[in-house]
Amino acid sequence: MVSQPLIVALIVAAGSGSRAGGEMPKQFRPVRGKPMLRHSYEALSAHPAISKVYVAIGAGQETEASAALVGLPMAVFVQGGATRRESVHLGMKAIAANGGADQILIHDAARPFLPSAVIDDLISALNGAPGAVPALPVVDSLSRGDDILTETVEREHLWRIQTPQAFAFADIYAAHQQWSGAEPTDDARMLMANGAQVRIVPGSEALNKLTFSTDFAGSTMPSFRSGNGFDVHRLVPGAELWLCGVLIPHDKGLAGHSDADVAMHALTDAILGAIAKGDIGDHFPPTDPQWRGASSDRFLAYAIQLARTDGFELANADVTIICERPKVGPFREKMRQRLAEIMAVDVDRISVKATTTEMLGFTGRGEGIAAQATATFEKN
């Protein structure tokens, strides 16, 4: 039986993060609701091939680091050095003193969003090489120059190198111990200086490095919001039946202060919920006579504009209409088109579905129609 290699990970989190601004080192600042360090630690500690995760931290940062990782498998903290290279070297020295390892993944805490597929690819690549790095091809035009462009640089065979970088532990440790040159840009350069090959595996845009204050302000990280809505209206004779902004031929219509478009009301509430702006009754109270008989597209257009004013753009809207009759299927595409028109989005962002309650309850008895909706927004 072939034994599995002992694989450890080392997260470099010893910097001050001065370029990111703020009083707190950036590795402990919240990113999408968690300390930045916690994101990559969760990914590495949860991977089944990795036995232990070491974290190189700055002097006096034990309290912040422990708080950032509370509730997770216990990390081994190592005091880092004045440079990234020194921190990695000290981390590997601690690993060697603790029994060593066969392979190591060295990762920067400033790249918090680490896909498990990247870890898988790096570990697989070590079967045929002493080192591997995730990288993305350069797709932008490149040029040299100061204030004026002077020379175009060919981008063919150019790569954006990311972390984690994976190595045979003995090889990269020896490269660090023997290093005497200028400060290297990454660990792969040090291994290559010893004559070893480093393989490239596919990187990920999720692994972008957070360096400047604008990165934390959300310019490179999308923020997502979701909301849900639910509404019910009675079916009565002599009223028009509007669903998703489409007039439906039927022997009954929905009763309400406005046009009683139950589906559009549910979607409006979902939008307002996603952006934390109350509900439809707060903005269009049924006690206000100006909304008597009003077309519900006004409510929906108002809600989507509120979202856009706050910087959110609709990613997806999903509406489910609950009734026995009429059959929604023949009108579904027209409903999708109408909702997309009102919200000024592509129709492929809109879903309209229908279901019944198998003749049960007020919808089953044909006394009313219910609708529920979910709206998801992205903010860049």
Report DSSP letters for 15-56, one per residue.
Answer: ---GGG-SSS-GGGSEETTEEHHHHHHHHHHH-TTEEEEEEE
d(CA 206, CA 116): 11
Name the least confident of 228-232, 293-297, 327-331: 293-297
- Percent of the chain exceeding pLDDT 90 equals 74
In this structure, the answer to whether residues 123 and 256 fall within a common structural domain is: no
98 assigned to some structural domain = yes
What local confidence, expressed as pLDDT, does residue 287 receive? 85
209 assigned to some structural domain = yes
Q: In which domain, by residue range, is 22 found?
A: 7-219
Torsion sign, CA atoms 178, 108, 124, 161: negative
Once rounded to an integer, what is the mean pLDDT over residues 8-36?
A: 79
The span from the first CA to the last CA of the chain, in angstroms, equals: 50
What local confidence, expressed as pLDDT, does residue 3 receive? 78
What local confidence, expressed as pLDDT, does residue 215 receive? 62
In this structure, the answer to whether residues 330 and 375 fall within a common structural domain is: yes
Q: Give CA torsion, residues 57, 58, 60, 62, to 10 deg.
A: -10
Q: Which CATH number is 304's domain given? A: 3.30.1330.50
Using the predicted structure, report yes or no on whether residue 109 has a pLDDT greater than 70. Answer: yes
Once rounded to an integer, what is the mean pLDDT over residues 114-132?
A: 95
Indicate the number of domains in the chain: 2
pLDDT (tens digit per residue) in 4-16: 999 999 999 997 6
Which alpha helices (DSSP H) does the chain contain, by range?
36-46, 62-68, 84-97, 116-125, 169-178, 187-193, 213-214, 262-274, 280-283, 297-309, 332-343, 361-364
pLDDT (tens digit per residue) in 268-286: 999 999 999 999 989 988 8
Using the predicted structure, report yes or no on whether residue 23 has a pLDDT greater than 70. Answer: no
Give the distance, in angstroms, between the CA of residue 270 and the centroid of all CA atoms in the same chain.
Answer: 21
236 assigned to some structural domain = yes
231 assigned to some structural domain = yes
CB 171 within 8 A of CB 198: no
pLDDT (tens digit per residue) in 192-248: 999 999 999 999 998 989 877 666 655 445 578 999 999 999 999 999 999 999 999
Once rounded to an integer, what is the mean pLDDT over residues 94-100?
A: 96
d(CA 210, CA 97): 32
Of 163, 192, 219, the residue at which a domain comes to its end is 219
Give, in degrees to the nearest 5, the angle at Cα 164 between 160 and 166. 105
Name the least confident of 31-35, 97-101, 142-146, 218-222: 218-222
